[in-house]
Structure 1
């Protein structure tokens, strides 16, 4: 093979790889700005989700994308890999969780969650994570104005059972499944 022919093949290969990289980056950017996200955690089905604007007040039962606050609790959660990296303040990825209590409701936790004295299904707590590190239950109490108590029925979910209510101001919108599956 001649030197000129090899050079032409390399140039073609570089152009193809560059074009593919630009195309994938463009698709990812359009997806991000279009509100699409990939869920890679077992708390909810894996796959493609969309952030749907919320045009009404938050209600119990709403499944949300929400940015956790940038505080010591969530920094430790990120260190322990409970949270993914992302574009929320503090470098956290947004959470997908279901609202189970809003301002004024009373949450109790003693091995499982109660909302206004009614047991919440699939809300058992654990004292240690999968690596054997200690987990502390939220102490319970009345949810303050502007805060939400979030939950996932997945037993290993890191949710308000452990971190307590979080500010509603971090809400990005409703979490809508687009193309998902449960392994």
Structure 2
């Protein structure tokens, strides 16, 4: 057998194996209710969706429909910073993909936004300093004013540790009714540290 034919066979079987593995992974994702996260909010990889928490608590990881009426969200949508879902896939307004974040404050609890980061219930959240400008400082990013907030009744405050994670520090607290379910990472199918891959100058 010639070298050329051998290489062609290797390429063919390699492609077939890749397609087969992808098909198996897609099938497992459908069967086990997995979602693929490619954002910098949480580590890149697969997360298993579950029912919404019956009693929401700090530390829960949830996916939810984002708000669309705040100035920050309008800026994000007009700037095409967000992901959109195929029509009919999710019930979120304006066909936005659900957000996946961690709950850090519940109704009645305090959150303070400072220039050095966000403090929730007296605990400083890692890597939470808001980005104020992007595009080499040319575009000002809308975020909530620096001050202390009390989470209103029926709402929660979200957070994600990744670089340039778009959180409640920009668009405000989220109605608990917007929660679609809970999420947890699928073991061995997420990449630790990948939420820090995107480098953003935090001005």
TM-score, normalised with respect to structure 1: 0.74
Please state how far the C-alpha of 1:124 moved relative to its aligned partner.
Answer: 1.4
Which residue is equivalent to 1:9?
A: none
Structure 1 stretches lacking a partner, 5+ long: 1-19
The reply on whether 1:107 has 2:90 as its aligned counterpart is no
Which residue is equivalent to 1:126?
A: 131
Partner Cα distance (1:55, 1:116) in 2: 21
Please state how far the C-alpha of 1:72 moved relative to its aligned partner.
Answer: 4.7
Q: Give CA-to-partner distance per residue, 1:7-52, whole Å, 9 cap, x none.
A: xxxxxxxxxxxxx9xxx7xx68x82x96332211121122222211
Which residue is equivalent to 1:173?
A: 181
2:149 to 141, 149, 153: 141
CA RMSD of aligned residues (A): 2.4
- Between the two proteins, the alignment pairs up a number of residues equal to 157
Look at both structures and tell me which one has the larger radius of gyration over its CA atoms.
1
TM-score, normalised with respect to structure 2: 0.68
Structure 2 stretches lacking a partner, 5+ long: 1-18, 195-203
Rate the CA distance shift 1:116–1:59 in 2: closer, same or farther, 3 A: same
Map 1:15-164 onto structure 2 (within 5 A). Answer: 31=30, 35-73=33-71, 74-86=73-85, 87=90, 88-111=92-115, 112-129=117-134, 132=137, 133-139=139-145, 140-164=148-172
Partner Cα distance (2:121, 2:127) in 1: 16
